[in-house]
Structure 1
Amino acid sequence: MIKLSGVIITYNEERNIEKCLQSLESVVDEIVVVDSFSTDSTKQICSQYNVKFIEQEFLGYIEQKNFALQHASYDYIVSLDGDEALSEELQKSIIELKSHWTYDGYYCNRYNNFCGQWIKHSDWYPNKKLRVFDRRKAYWRGHKIHETIGFKDSNSKASKLKGDILHWTYQTYSEFNLKTEYFSTISAQAYYEKGKKAPFWKLWVNPSWAFFKSYILRFGFLDGFNGFVICVQTANIAFLKYSKLRELHKNN
């Protein structure tokens, strides 16, 4: 039977970290938390559990997550953010997996909670993520905020587990607005560093398509008012990203 390391990065996650730890403690053989010097009670909450707690200044999402992987004792990883937890069904799937690990990695659906509502449509579900993997075969990669698990070998194979990663996202509309500004700024900077352009037509075509795809084609309207808010912000992120990219090109 293999042994698993649960690996988490955190910063000011007192609202959610206990749910995350509780969902992991009966599943994995150790829990590693890499914290970016939280100013709330995240560290205190973690101290109540059997956790390897490491403080590290934030290196960037990708770099911080790869740093955390290096401090795991075991090669088989369950990777979560501090605002995520394993559903009961996913806990059972991973426990069964310990006896018959077959693939190099395993995908799970992520189920997002927005302002107290579980979102079942738009681009938010099923939000497939590869979070259970062999760190000898996979690593975090991407650019800025768009981090994903990538395999080192193109011949690596992945399967899918039953159950969901439960994700508590924004609990207020104001929080969502602030994060939209933040992530659009980082995305614009990432695009600028890659040399991407922002022609005027992208400021209306890309947001319009983003809204139509998430609200109509992916049934975001079935999630009611919150579904509408999410799809509007999906379009808004696209608009802000390209408008800020135009500004970067203009000023540099």
Structure 2
Amino acid sequence: MPLSVIIITYNEERNIGRCLESLTGIADDILVVDSFSTDKTEEICQQYSARFIQRRFDGYSNQKRFATEHAKFDYVLSLDADEALSPELKTSILNEKNKWSKPCYSFNIRNHYCGKAIRHCGWYPDKHVRLFNRSVTNWTQKEVHESIAVNDNKAVMHLKGDLLHFTCSSITEHQEKEKKYARMNADILAKKGKNILWITPYIKGAFRFFKTYVIKLGILDGYYGFIISKTLAKSSFYKYSWARNAIRKK
């Protein structure tokens, strides 16, 4: 039975080719929804015969909902441009394509950081539902860290194999990405209007470091485990600090 793949992009010439290559032999429809890239993203997508639609970015959830609605087939696999199917996961999906026994499918995401596979930090196994029947479910309305709404865990089958996520090629890239997420999360928090104490950003940041580095065993990932833990801690600090400042200005 047919499968659509949706991908949202913005200036992803570095990653999109690897992503599309991994879909060879499995995708019956590839839709790329792009936020007006200025690099070679569109050119590369055309080489793989992907449908290419440009749309103003108005949030991850909205962008992916739009892509899901414009997919040709009901079963939809959602990927980010910096992700690729491992051979084992590809085989698992191909086996399910013959029958589609469940409305939702989950699998583990293996994150690669500066070229190194991260095995701890809460980053693996990082299980997500990314393959689903759009006639049954769709994306949540969260502005950040969007996900597929699942009300019944019995409706989900976990597939063997990893989705390979090449998250950041440099520490600076990760720091900038986390600052962006912190700003978005701070805006969401500020809209709630709840009072935030001056000490809260420090407590949240310290706990995030302890959780990632100690509880989630980031220490076992060596140097990059420390850097990831420190970067996530700063992101948490910024989130609550920026939200507090925004609330005080109201």
| Alignment TM-score, normalising by the size of structure 1 | 0.95
Q: Which residue type is aligned with residue 17 of structure 1?
A: I
Where do residues 1-252 of structure 1 align in structure 2 (5 Å cutoff)?
A: 2-151=1-150, 157-252=155-250
Secondary structure at the aligned position of 1:37 is classed as: coil
Indicate the SS of the match to 1:193.
Answer: helix
SS at match of 2:56: coil
Q: Which amino acid aligns with 1:175?
A: E
In the alignment, is the contact (CA less than 8 A) between 1:25 and 1:31 conserved in 2? Answer: no
- Runs of 5+ unmatched residues, structure 2: none
Q: Secondary structure of the equivalent of 1:24?
A: coil
Q: CA deviation at 1:44?
A: 0.5
Superposed CA deviations along residues 75-97 of structure 1, whole A, max 9, x for unmatched, are 00110011111111100000001
Bigger drift between 202-211 and 124-133 goes to 202-211
* Residues 12 and 203 of structure 1: CA distance in aligned 2, closer, same or farther (over 3 Å): same
More displaced, 171-180 or 34-43?
171-180
Partner of 1:122, secondary structure, is coil
Quote the Cα distance in structure 2 between the aligned partners of 1:47 and 1:235.
40
Task: Report if aligned partners of 1:111, 1:165 keep a CA contact under 8 Å in 2.
Answer: yes
Contact in 2 for aligned 1:11/1:38 (Cα 8 Å): yes
Residues 104 and 156 in structure 1, CA contact (< 8 A), matched pair in contact too = no
Residues 62, 141 of structure 2: 8 Å contact kept? no
CA RMSD across the alignment: 1.4
For residues 150 and 85 of structure 1, the distance between their equivalents in structure 2, rounded to whole angstroms, comes to 23
Q: Distance in 2 between matches of 1:133 and 1:12?
A: 27
Tell me how far 1:154 sits from its aligned partner. Answer: 5.0
Unaligned runs of 5+ in 1: none
Aligned equivalents of 2:165, 2:27: Cα separation in 1: 19
Name the amino acid aligned to 1:191. Answer: L
> Is the Cα–Cα contact under 8 Å of residues 7 and 72 in structure 1 kept in the other structure?
yes
Q: CA separation in 1, counterparts of 2:214 and 2:221?
A: 11
Aligned residues: 250
Please state how far the C-alpha of 1:100 moved relative to its aligned partner. Answer: 2.7
Contact 2:193 2:247 in 1 (8 A): no
Q: Could you state the TM-score of these two structures normalised by the residue count of structure 2?
A: 0.95
Pairwise CA distance, 1:203: 1.8
